């Protein structure tokens, strides 16, 4: 259920959003000046393998700030013209806020935010993900060499955003590297796809809604993917998946 946050609660939840991220974080703030605590949380997250997409837009960053952000390959920095939105999200939560990620605002201003949970506020959470993706697509990526700054092509998909959609989908894309179809996985274990699907449903890796199979969080956690093309939809599974171990857990 959505929750209202005041200034101190916004700062607390934002820090938790970064510190508890597993893979990806998106930070959208027109004015951007990170305090030491946020920088330390970002550095710690990067050491855990978390990647960041950070979007700003109202004014150019100080050289020291920009150089720090561009010093890590795990941070992608973007400038968005006319940006006024403030939104902070990871794989599980989204904060829609009045607060800029700006040291002065975090200390001196009275702010209000809404916290959305992917689990409890699924539709609103996914909508915030979609809007974050749209803003990234229309932004210019900031690189160390100014002449290389560019607007990203519309077909680019961002890891956090594609993985947090429900279900996680890579629409109209070819099978991923080191991933195999359900048919191939079944053949590998000398069974057929229909029998395998029955086992996957029984073990909680696939759910059925309105007669349509969908991946569950359990299957996505092991790297399964949902794909769709003109003929229908299909699943991809890690090629090195140990099916016996998976189905016995």
Crossing angle (nearest 10°) for helices 7-19 and 36-47 = 20
Whole-number pLDDT of residue 106: 73
Whole-number pLDDT of residue 150: 47
List of the chain residues with pLDDT < 70: 104-105, 144-177, 229-231, 248-249
Ordered alpha helix ranges (H), 22-174:
36-47, 63-70, 103-108, 122-137, 159-164
Q: Residue 68: give its domain's CATH number.
A: 3.30.870.10
Tally of domains within the chain: 2
Domain that holds residue 54: 3-146+159-164
Domain boundary among 164, 195, 230: 164
In a domain, 105, yes or no: yes
Whole-number pLDDT of residue 148: 44
């Amino acid at each position: 259920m959505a929750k209202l946050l005041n200034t101190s609660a916004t700062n607390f939840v934002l820090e938790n959003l970064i510190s508890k991220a597993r893979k990806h974080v998106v930070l959208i703030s027109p004015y951007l000046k990170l305090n030491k605590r946020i920088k330390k949380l970002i550095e710690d997250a990067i050491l855990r393998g978390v990647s960041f997409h950070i979007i700003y837009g109202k004014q150019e960053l100080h050289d020291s700030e920009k150089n720090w952000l561009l010093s890590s390959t795990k941070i992608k920095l973007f400038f968005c013209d006319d940006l006024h939105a403030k939104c902070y999200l990871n794989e599980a939560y989204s904060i829609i806020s009045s607060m800029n990620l700006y040291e002065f605002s975090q200390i001196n201003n009275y702010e209000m935010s809404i916290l959305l949970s992917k689990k409890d506020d699924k539709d609103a959470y996914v909508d915030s993900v979609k809007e974050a993706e749209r803003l990234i697509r229309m932004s210019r990526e900031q690189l160390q060499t100014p002449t290389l700054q560019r607007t990203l092509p519309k077909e680019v998909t961002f890891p956090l955003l594609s993985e947090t959609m429900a279900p996680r989908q890579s629409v109209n894309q070819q099978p991923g590297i080191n991933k195999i179809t359900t048919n191939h996985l079944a053949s590998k274990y000398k069974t057929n796809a229909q029998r395998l699907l029955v086992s996957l449903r029984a073990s909680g890796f696939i759910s059925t809604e309105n007669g349509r199979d969908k991946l569950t969080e359990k299957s996505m956690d092991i790297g399964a993917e949902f794909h769709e093309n003109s003929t229908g939809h299909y699943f991809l599974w890690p090629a090195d998946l140990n099916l016996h171990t998976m189905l016995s857990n």
